[in-house]
Structure 1
Amino acid sequence: MMRAYVALGSNLGDSRQQLTDAMHALARLPHTRLLAHSHLYRTPPWGVHDQPDFLNAVVTLETSLSPHDLLDALLKIERAAGRERDDGRWGPRILDLDLLHITGITVNDERLTLPHPHIAERAFVLLPLHELASDLEIPGQGRVADLLRAVDTQGCELLA
């Protein structure tokens, strides 16, 4: 079994419900157990700024699925929620699931890069990831707690 970290985001429709439903879907994946989930965070959009704020979270999974099988499962959950992958880079979306890191695994191919190459740049990932694994070392990027100290968290809000 491997420990995997998945980022969740939504800024269309009932985002809170979308993230809750996605967490339930992740917990039902075969050969996978949902170990923990962060609180929800309201965060400003990243990349394309003319869109609604996002709700974001991170989950920790224990899984024996291969990285590519886990990626396929994440894409299937997105499609079931109504996500179409042609909706533009960094634009609004009903559900976004990003495989961030699998402990002990690196991948770099046409479909998947692990660890996710932009973890260190994104407060919307680092805030909830820090809640779950502040001492996690992201290969080639650094320790989550250190990465979080280096990003701008202005406009990010922990939700109850």
Structure 2
Amino acid sequence: MMVRVIVSVGTNIDPERNLNKCRAILDTEVGILGEAEVIQTAPDGYQNQPDFLNGAYLLSTDRPYDEFNQYLKNVEERLGRVKGPIKSGPRCIDLDIIIWDSQVVHDDYTQNKHYVVVPVNELLEQHAIELAT
């Protein structure tokens, strides 16, 4: 059974290039059904770093949640992501599942993180997706 998934994307290391590479991989390997407008945001947490570019993609998969999440972590690694000592520090790409089959599954959305909520809500509205309560 296919489920619709909204994945947030963020980057502040060579952001235009990394967003383009990420988008190309996801579109080729999964197929992008929709994408939110990219927004520029100030860092959250650790401040001594460049601003981020953030967006979101609507995807569809028949993989189980854990397998799809591992696939996204693999895409991050393929794009050169190395997790540093600062959790909210600079990154070449960050992919997080926010909505899985109409369910909110990530705290950044429930905690109203602007850089996640704005792009995700844009996709929810564009594609008439109602969240389960």
TM norm structure 1: 0.73
Contact 1:42–1:53 under 8 Å retained in 2: yes
Q: Distance in 1 between matches of 2:132 and 2:42?
A: 24
2:82 match: 84
Amino acid at match of 2:131: E
Q: How many residues align?
A: 128
**Of 78, 99, 102, the match for 1:101:** 99
| Greater share of residues in helix | 2
How far off its partner does 1:104 sit? 4.9
Aligned to 1:158: none
The share of aligned pairs that are identical, in percent, is 27
Distance 2:56 2:84 in 1: 23
What is the SS of the residue equivalent to 1:51?
Answer: coil
Contact 2:102-2:132 at 8 Å conserved across structures: no
RMSD, aligned CA: 1.7
| Unmatched 5+ stretches in structure 1 | 106-113, 140-160
**For the Cα contact (< 8 Å) 1:40–1:128, is it kept in 2?**
yes
Which 4+ runs in 1 deviate beyond 3 A?
none
User: Taking structure 2 as the reference length, what is the TM-score of the superposition?
Assistant: 0.87
CA deviation after TM superposition for structure 1 residue 21, in Å: 1.1
**Residue 25 of structure 2 corresponds to which residue in structure 1?**
25
Q: Is the 8 A contact 1:87 1:93 kept in 2?
A: no
Structure-2 separation of matches of 1:69 and 1:123:
27
